[in-house]
Amino acid sequence: MIKSILIVCIGNICRCPMALGLFARKLPGVQLNSAGIDAVVGAPADPLAIDLMRLRNIDISAHRGEQLRAWQCASADLILVMDLPQKRFIEKYYPTTRGKLFRLGEYGRFDIFDPHQGGRSDFERCLALIEQGVDDWTARIAASGSPPPKATHELVQITQ
């Protein structure tokens, strides 16, 4: 049963906060955390990410970048990264993650590109991939016997 998910990207200010917000809406009973391999520690989510999530009634404005740490990897039931190079990096430096480390786009067989320093259209395309990955994983988690997801359309506020 999946009780905790760690979401990992590079800077922890674009992709992770958006994925975290979407998972929080779909899996409110699951503990969610995020971190970056090379995080912009203490930085807020990118303004474009905040804006796009606000349009989905999800508030990620309280998010702050956090560096990936071994204890986070050890305590998570599932670790989701954005692309294959990140997966390989984590497998190399945190070998105990094998078996619980996957790409967010694993089931669709896609990587999620980094929209950092891109324009709004880059963030929209990135978010569409993240939404697909979150939907795929939510369905898998529900099918695995974890508590069924309770989707909500109320304001979701992410704090970290």
104, with CB counted inside 10 A (0-12, 13-18, 19+), is buried
pLDDT per residue as tens digits for the range 48-91? 999 999 999 999 999 999 999 999 999 999 999 999 999 999 99
Residue 153 has pLDDT above 50, yes or no: no
Helix (H, G, I), strand (E, B), or coil: what is residue 128?
A: helix
Q: Catalytic site residues? A: 9, 15, 114
Angle at 50 between CA 3 and CA 107, to 5 degrees: 45
Q: Whole-model pTM?
A: 0.90
Measured distance CA(84)–CA(77) in Å, rounded:
19
For residue 146, is pLDDT > 80?
A: no
pLDDT tier at 142 (50, 70, 90 boundaries)?
Answer: confident
| Contacting residues for 143 by C-beta, under 8 A, at least 6 apart | none
